[in-house]
Chains A and B, each alone.
Chain A
């Protein structure tokens, strides 16, 4: 692909107005479409040369997919990453505040990717640095880059308008759910939320859905709504959300899907999961046409390439 083409196409894409990506609430339909369109270009082989750009990776919690895909995305853009490493091996262990840590690392890198166990961590970080901060998950808060790759996957498989999406599992603590539900209100999407009573959407997410005038229904069982769905987004119910093992097993078992259950679904149902899964999707679903979660995970790279290319300063220069 010619370098001149690459530059022109990059310049034609609307650049996101935001300095930081903290919450999916920030993203307009236009923002989302711009990122997804750019991601599709990278998916098709587009290359840029961000040789001098360095991305700071600050992961205060374990991560496989998110961290590796940001690392891969930055390197595929021609740049490189600097990694704080684990909390145990960093000065955070000595009691350093998050504000201090990000101020220091912002001096090394052109943008920061932050995952942290506390809600609001990325917002706080963004107030202390002059480089873009990208929220890669803040406690039970938000995970907007996961949402962008989810939307990319939905767009590829079902389109993003006039569709019915079911989101199932831990809706209370699931940050991928909070971000996705908010972003879907920018599109013509009917949303069904399926969860145990104790893990319903939190008040703030409901508030935003209500304010956005979203078409939202809540259920405690999947069966009644499954035949309507174009997309089923499954999330993990975590053991630590329940007071005892028996209750957890009972509840988690009710929100598990397998290939037989999906006989009741539409033939073109898309089953997604942010991964890692434990046993909420039986392995026999992997062999069906419904299973899209591994493609979804792969989409993390082009989508994060697009996001970084749009948020990092400069236009990426000529491709080599």
Chain B
């Protein structure tokens, strides 16, 4: 079954962003990273565990009325490295790109080290340098390799 048929399972959007080929089970983490929780009024559709030729199963997220910038979506590469980004205008995909690993992610993850200064109410955002297969706290050097989604900053 092709990807395009599967996309019909969630409604087409007129203008906005489709984030496709998200690793199955990560859609809600993608939304959390993007800070989309519905409170902003955006129309959001989520497909989870839909069949995919490329991934076997995948998640898909569609956000109506908002075009996400590369800087906003590159951070998704940490939890959804195969994700593709489609910018949609008047029901047509006008731009298609893959996420690329950023060098640094700021304000997205919170440091798992409870003794890190970035977790102690100082006026700074968390900052992680992105390594080949992990991220590293820019303050305390703690390396985070697995379960990055569990450390998405919730404030």
Interface residues of A (CB under 8 A from B): 23, 97-99, 116-121, 123-124, 127, 138-142, 203-204, 207
Residue of A nearest to B121 (CB): A97
Task: Please determine whether A97 and B140 come into contact, CB atoms closer than 8 angstroms.
Answer: no
Map CB proximity to A onto B42-61 as digits: 1 under 8 Å, 0 otherwise.
Answer: 00000000000000000000
Q: How many A-B residue pairs have CB under 8 A?
A: 59
If A123-B138, A140-B115, A204-B136 touch, whether A118 touches B120 (CB-CB below 8 Å) is: yes
**A142: which B residues are within 8 A, CB to CB?**
141
Question: In the assembled complex, how far is the CB of residue A277 from the closest CB belonging to chain B, in whole angstroms?
Answer: 24
- Give Cα A315 to B44, complex, Å: 62
Task: Please determine whether B118 and A124 come into contact, CB atoms closer than 8 angstroms.
Answer: yes
Residue of B nearest to A125 (CB): B117
- Give Cα A174 to B123, complex, Å: 28
Task: Please determine whether A116 and B123 come into contact, CB atoms closer than 8 angstroms.
Answer: no
Interface residues of B (CB under 8 A from A): 113, 115-118, 120-124, 134, 136-143
Leading 3 A-B pairs by shortest Cβ distance: A120-B139, A119-B140, A120-B140
Pull 11 A–B residue pairs with CB atoms less than 8 Å apart, ordered by A.
Answer: A97-B123, A98-B122, A118-B116, A119-B113, A119-B140, A119-B141, A120-B118, A124-B118, A124-B139, A138-B140, A203-B142
Task: Please determine whether B122 and A97 come into contact, CB atoms closer than 8 angstroms.
Answer: yes
Task: Please determine whether B122 and A204 come into contact, CB atoms closer than 8 angstroms.
Answer: no
**B115: which A residues are within 8 A, CB to CB?**
117-119, 139-140
- Give Cα A276 to B143, complex, Å: 30
Residue among A23, A118, A140, A204 making CB contact with B117, cutoff 8 Å: A118
16 new A-B contacts, CB < 8 A, other than A121-B117, A124-B139, A138-B117, are: A97-B122, A97-B123, A98-B122, A99-B122, A99-B123, A99-B124, A116-B117, A119-B139, A119-B141, A120-B140, A123-B117, A123-B138, A123-B139, A139-B140, A203-B142, A207-B143
Task: Please determine whether B141 and A141 come into contact, CB atoms closer than 8 angstroms.
Answer: yes
Residue of A nearest to B120 (CB): A118
If A118-B117, A119-B117, A204-B136 touch, whether A124 touches B124 (CB-CB below 8 Å) is: yes
**A120: which B residues are within 8 A, CB to CB?**
116-118, 137-141
Task: Please determine whether A203 and B123 come into contact, CB atoms closer than 8 angstroms.
Answer: no
Question: In the assembled complex, how far is the CB of residue B128 from the closest CB belonging to chain A, in whole angstroms?
Answer: 12
Question: In the assembled complex, how far is the CB of residue A118 from the closest CB belonging to chain B, in whole angstroms?
Answer: 4
**A127: which B residues are within 8 A, CB to CB?**
124
- Give Cα A117 to B113, complex, Å: 13
- Give Cα A142 to B121, complex, Å: 21
**A123: which B residues are within 8 A, CB to CB?**
117, 138-139
Residue of A nearest to B124 (CB): A124
**B143: which A residues are within 8 A, CB to CB?**
203-204, 207
- Give Cα A203 to B136, complex, Å: 11
Task: Please determine whether A124 and B141 come into contact, CB atoms closer than 8 angstroms.
Answer: no
Question: In the assembled complex, how far is the CB of residue A136 from the closest CB belonging to chain B, in whole angstroms?
Answer: 15
- Give Cα A91 to B116, complex, Å: 21
Question: In the assembled complex, how far is the CB of residue A121 from the closest CB belonging to chain B, in whole angstroms?
Answer: 5
**A141: which B residues are within 8 A, CB to CB?**
140-141
**A97: which B residues are within 8 A, CB to CB?**
121-123
**B136: which A residues are within 8 A, CB to CB?**
204, 207
**B118: which A residues are within 8 A, CB to CB?**
120, 124
**B113: which A residues are within 8 A, CB to CB?**
119
Question: In the assembled complex, how far is the CB of residue B89 from the closest CB belonging to chain A, in whole angstroms?
Answer: 40
Question: In the assembled complex, how far is the CB of residue A119 from the closest CB belonging to chain B, in whole angstroms?
Answer: 3
Question: In the assembled complex, how far is the CB of residue B126 from the closest CB belonging to chain A, in whole angstroms?
Answer: 10
- Give Cα A50 to B136, complex, Å: 39
Question: In the assembled complex, how far is the CB of residue A138 from the closest CB belonging to chain B, in whole angstroms?
Answer: 8
- Give Cα A93 to B121, complex, Å: 15
Task: Please determine whether A98 and B117 come into contact, CB atoms closer than 8 angstroms.
Answer: yes
Task: Please determine whether B124 and A204 come into contact, CB atoms closer than 8 angstroms.
Answer: no
**B140: which A residues are within 8 A, CB to CB?**
118-120, 138-139, 141
Question: In the assembled complex, how far is the CB of residue A21 from the closest CB belonging to chain B, in whole angstroms?
Answer: 15
**B122: which A residues are within 8 A, CB to CB?**
97-99, 124
Question: In the assembled complex, how far is the CB of residue A87 from the closest CB belonging to chain B, in whole angstroms?
Answer: 14
Residue among A98, A99, A138, A204 making CB contact with B142, cutoff 8 Å: A204
Taking each of B120, B121, B139, B142, which has the highest tally of chain A beta carbons within 10 Å of its own beta carbon?
Answer: B139
